[in-house]
Structure 1
Amino acid sequence: MSQTEQRPFRILGVQQIALGALDRARLEKLWVECFGLPITGTFRSERENVDEAILALGSGPFKVEVDLMQPLDLEKKPAVHQTPLNHVGLWVDDLPAAVAWLSAKGVRFAPGGIRKGAAGFDICFIHPKGSDEAPISGEGVLIELVQAPPEVVAAFDRLASSAASG
């Protein structure tokens, strides 16, 4: 990308960290019982082959979601327990623009396109491996792009503005 080319979206921060295991209860021992993170919801999907607990770390627009996941069926894909750090989610201010721009740059996206995620936000995934048609990837890491709600975009703008003037 040249210095003058404008990216039509911004990555605002970490939205989530997703951890997988064969048994979600073992993850909950550490994250809920030992660390004290509250469970704010659950999500179960045959299509995504996942049974997960959704936890919260922090608060407000900078809250990070921690998803503790186990597969519904060990024989099916996706295998949410492999690797244990399943994926990292990033807030983006304009998901459709990001997907279009990144696709044009040669970024490979996982099948499924933009869709509703477990927390109700529009999401899509950057594939962990490139292909001949789309060689840019997460290089072994699945990356979830998450449409930031207006309050997260506004909080990011306020923070960026105060940092620039301070």
Structure 2
Amino acid sequence: MPSCRPLSSSALLPRPFRVLGLQQVAIGALDKSGPCRLWGDVLGVPMTGTYKSEKENVDEDIFRVGAPDCPWAVEIDLMQPIDPAKAPKVHVPALNHIGLWVHPLTAAVEYLSKQGVRFTPGGIRRGAAGHDVCFIHPKGNEKSPLSGEGVLIELVQAPPEVVRAYESAVETADLARSKG
């Protein structure tokens, strides 16, 4: 049975970026009204925005789990296709993608590309929430064999407030360990 042991540190280049936390979970459906009712009306998660893009074939409502001013709050993006017959099919699979806060994004993309990670076409671009994003492909290929193994992974440039909150949390944890 394969294990999830990390590679030896000598096998990897120094990592010039950090993954700071979960930024979003994107859920697709042919009709987002059911998921919106569940997340908004039943669970009481506040809706914070909408996004529509013909190019990306998506009509989405954005909800936010967590305290209003918390930089660690997580988006729940509920999506439906504008045209179900066209690609991308944002409703297939229903768990469309997860998003990770990273810093800095450009260094992450460069490093991951050198490690054999496959990205979707389009490169770094502005995402629905206004942050720079890019996507790790759900399937590898011969040239770039590392992938999300069936899951689309969005890398999102963390804004300054998330970077500061992360660094503060790390400093607090390090201080507690040193006193420990």
Please state which band the TM-score falls in when normalised by the shorter chain.
over 0.9
TM-score, normalization by structure 2: 0.90
1:138 aligned to which of 140, 148, 162: 148
CA distance in 2, matches of 1:109, 1:19: 20
1:148 aligned to which of 146, 158, 164: 158
CA distance in 1, matches of 2:105, 2:146: 18
CA distance in 2, matches of 1:125, 1:70: 19
Letter in 2 for 1:122: D
Q: Which residue of 2 aligns with 1:105?
A: 115
- Cα deviation for residue 44 of structure 1 reads 0.3
Letter in 1 for 2:107: A
CA distance in 2, matches of 1:6, 1:103: 14
1:124 paired with 2:124, answer no
1:69 paired with 2:75, answer no
Deviant stretches of 4+, over 3 Å: none
CA distance in 2, matches of 1:113, 1:75: 25
TM-score, normalization by structure 1: 0.97
CA distance in 2, matches of 1:33, 1:85: 20
- Cα deviation for residue 98 of structure 1 reads 0.3
CA distance in 2, matches of 1:2, 1:123: 29
- Unpaired runs of at least 5, structure 2: 1-6
Letter in 1 for 2:155: L
Q: Secondary structure of the equivalent of 2:129?
A: coil
Q: Which residue of 2 aligns with 1:8?
A: 16
1:58 paired with 2:81, answer no
- Cα deviation for residue 6 of structure 1 reads 1.6
Q: Which residue of 2 aligns with 1:164?
A: 174
CA distance in 2, matches of 1:34, 1:105: 43
1:49 paired with 2:64, answer no
1:20 aligned to which of 1, 24, 28: 28
How many pairs does the alignment contain?
Answer: 166
Letter in 2 for 1:3: S
- Cα deviation for residue 2 of structure 1 reads 4.4
